[in-house]
Amino acid sequence: MEDVISYINEHKETYIEELKNFLRIPSISTLPESKGDIRKAAEFVANKLNTAGMSRVEIFETEGHPLVYGEWLGAPGKPTVLIYGHYDVQPVDPIELWDSPPFEPEIRGTKIYARGATDDKGQMLVHIKSVEAFLKTTGSIPLNVKFIIEGEEEVGSESLETFIKNNVDLLKCDTVLISDTSLYAEGIPTLTFGLRGLQYMEVEVVGPNRDLHSGTFGGAIANPINVLAGIISKLHDKNGKITIPGFYNNVPNITKKEKENYKLLKFSEKRYAKELGVTEVYGEKGYSTVERTWARPSLDCNGIYGGFIGKGAKTVLPSKATAKISMRLVPGQEPKKISKLFINYIKKLAPKSVKVTISDLHGGYPAIVPMDAPAVQAAARAMEKAFGKKTVFIREGGSIPIVATFAKKLKVPPVLMGLGLNSENLHSPNEHFDLRHFQLGILSSAYFLKEFSL
């Protein structure tokens, strides 16, 4: 084990260079024009798995973006770890708010800035490097390792969902190891035991058959923007509760034990608000910020557009307006059912004077991980060894819908070994990743491969 740790420490700079090369590929999964770069990123991953010494590496074509599979099964009788990650990234707009170009990684202080740095390229590469360290120094890994790396995480993981269903034997394992969540705070080893699910919708309101002059027609025709705003305003009540009938059915109450556990985290709402640049937090009445983001569902407009959106003034009564609206779900809520409730409610809210089209863009299940599973306990010990501190257990507000699928189809508990930080601007300009956590992550991964083999 000492050799492995030394190898990791000696190759620190090389690993960072490799991460930089990975980050230079603009693999934005939601843009049709990124197809070539998506392919490049998949090939980059396959290449790294080969170099690490995996005995089989394969790129599987799908209806969407390719999946990269790798395996090293040289430890018969030992457990098998399936490592999951994604090579696709979020769009970069608003591009003008980036301090350095999103696909030209730049190190400032201990942080590397680029789209995908923390979500998920940096976090995913960690595990390829720990495996490499074992194979290059000892010629073997203490247990069996499989990799499945996808390119559609940011758009709903559809192809992987299908692949898992059709390849349960290929992916057979004793746990799924995933680094795509966050540390509770800088330098604090953290395991996540709960994730919210997601249901993403688009609502389009169409009024007149063309953009109209707002002087000639203003006051006589329902304005699609005003109508859409009215609909959105009715999705929450004055206590911040979501008003969709049936939305909270099956949402479990937060247990006393969990509430007490959250209190131990000494979360500061004041510091949180200050860091985000707002004068106060805001959310569902009767819950703390931690509870609101981890254990309660939410509904947010992710985008809205309609009419004239250039500089200056244009006196137009627009033909249509569109909003992207997503809901974060907690265990107990079914994405498909929530989608139906949403559609029915919006239809009810829409006045006769406009046409409303509601599309279900994608959804994913929430997940809860049993904390006492051997893999989870091994991960807690591994992180403690790497970080030199006791591992804390948290939930996270974000969604990795595939986690629920892994758990359900492969019937194993996932280990959510997050290495990012919530403050690292994932999904926004100036995304970054702390390179100290990159290094501690590789060590944690190596310790885990050892601990879980015992």
122-137 vs 2-10: helix crossing angle, rounded to 10: 130
| Distance from C-alpha of 419 to C-alpha of 417, rounded to nearest angstrom | 7
User: Whole-number minimum distance, CB 317 to its own copies, in Å?
Assistant: 5
| Distance from C-alpha of 242 to C-alpha of 222, rounded to nearest angstrom | 25
Of 34 and 175, the one with the shorter C-beta distance to its own copies is 34
| Distance from C-alpha of 10 to C-alpha of 299, rounded to nearest angstrom | 46
354 binds its own copies (CB under 8 A): yes
- Here the tokens at position 403 are 């986690």
With CB under 8 A as the contact rule, which of the stretches 102-110, 133-141, 351-359, 433-441 interacts with its own copies?
Answer: 351-359
Choosing from 173, 228, 338, 407, the residue that interacts with its own copies (CB under 8 A) is 228
Choosing from 230, 340, 344, 409, the residue that interacts with its own copies (CB under 8 A) is 230
| Distance from C-alpha of 86 to C-alpha of 121, rounded to nearest angstrom | 7
Of 68 and 198, the one with the shorter C-beta distance to its own copies is 198
The residues in 100-139 that bind its own copies, with binding defined as CB under 8 A, are none
Choosing from 138, 186, 305, 357, the residue that interacts with its own copies (CB under 8 A) is 305
The residues in 414-453 that bind its own copies, with binding defined as CB under 8 A, are 422, 425-430
| Distance from C-alpha of 52 to C-alpha of 132, rounded to nearest angstrom | 4
Of 94 and 139, the one with the shorter C-beta distance to its own copies is 94
- What one-character DSSP code corresponds to residue 46? H
Contacts with 348 (C-beta within 8 Å, 6 or more apart), sequence order: none
Q: What x/- string results for residues 139 through 178 when contact with its own copies is judged by CB under 8 A?
A: ---------------xxx----------------------
| Distance from C-alpha of 24 to C-alpha of 410, rounded to nearest angstrom | 34
Of 238 and 256, the one with the shorter C-beta distance to its own copies is 238
The residues in 306-345 that bind its own copies, with binding defined as CB under 8 A, are 306-319, 321-324, 326, 328
Amino acid symbol at 180:
D
283 binds its own copies (CB under 8 A): yes
Of 365 and 448, the one with the shorter C-beta distance to its own copies is 365
Phi, psi (deg, nearest 5) at residue 72: -140, 110
Distance of CA 423 to the CA centre of its chain: 14
65 binds its own copies (CB under 8 A): no
Contacts with 19 (C-beta within 8 Å, 6 or more apart), sequence order: 105, 112, 117, 121, 122, 125, 438
Amino acid symbol at 229:
A
# of chain residues touching its own copies (CB under 8 A): 103
Choosing from 16, 75, 170, 222, the residue that interacts with its own copies (CB under 8 A) is 222
Does the active-site annotation cover 88? yes
With CB under 8 A as the contact rule, which of the stretches 7-15, 41-49, 163-171, 284-292 interacts with its own copies?
Answer: 284-292
User: Whole-number minimum distance, CB 169 to its own copies, in Å?
Assistant: 32
31 binds its own copies (CB under 8 A): yes
Straight-line distance from the first to the last Cα atom of the chain, in angstroms, rounded to the nearest whole number? 13
The residues in 366-395 that bind its own copies, with binding defined as CB under 8 A, are none
With CB under 8 A as the contact rule, which of the stretches 53-61, 75-83, 121-129, 202-210 interacts with its own copies?
Answer: 202-210
Determine contact, residues 144/73, Cβ cutoff 8 Å: yes
User: Whole-number minimum distance, CB 1 to its own copies, in Å?
Assistant: 34
Does the active-site annotation cover 2? no
Please list the alpha-helical segments (H only) found in 53-137: 122-137
Which residue among the candidates 71, 119, 132, 153 is catalytic per the annotation?
A: 153
User: Whole-number minimum distance, CB 88 to its own copies, in Å?
Assistant: 12
Of 138 and 315, the one with the shorter C-beta distance to its own copies is 315
User: Whole-number minimum distance, CB 219 to its own copies, in Å?
Assistant: 3
Of 130 and 399, the one with the shorter C-beta distance to its own copies is 399
With CB under 8 A as the contact rule, which of the stretches 2-10, 99-107, 297-305, 387-395 interacts with its own copies?
Answer: 297-305
Determine contact, residues 42/86, Cβ cutoff 8 Å: no
Determine contact, residues 386/90, Cβ cutoff 8 Å: no
Contacts with 328 (C-beta within 8 Å, 6 or more apart), sequence order: 196, 197, 198, 297, 298, 299, 300, 397, 398, 399
β-bridge partners, 71: 56, 146
Q: How many CA atoms lie within 13 A of 440 on its CB side?
A: 23
Catalytic residues: 88, 153
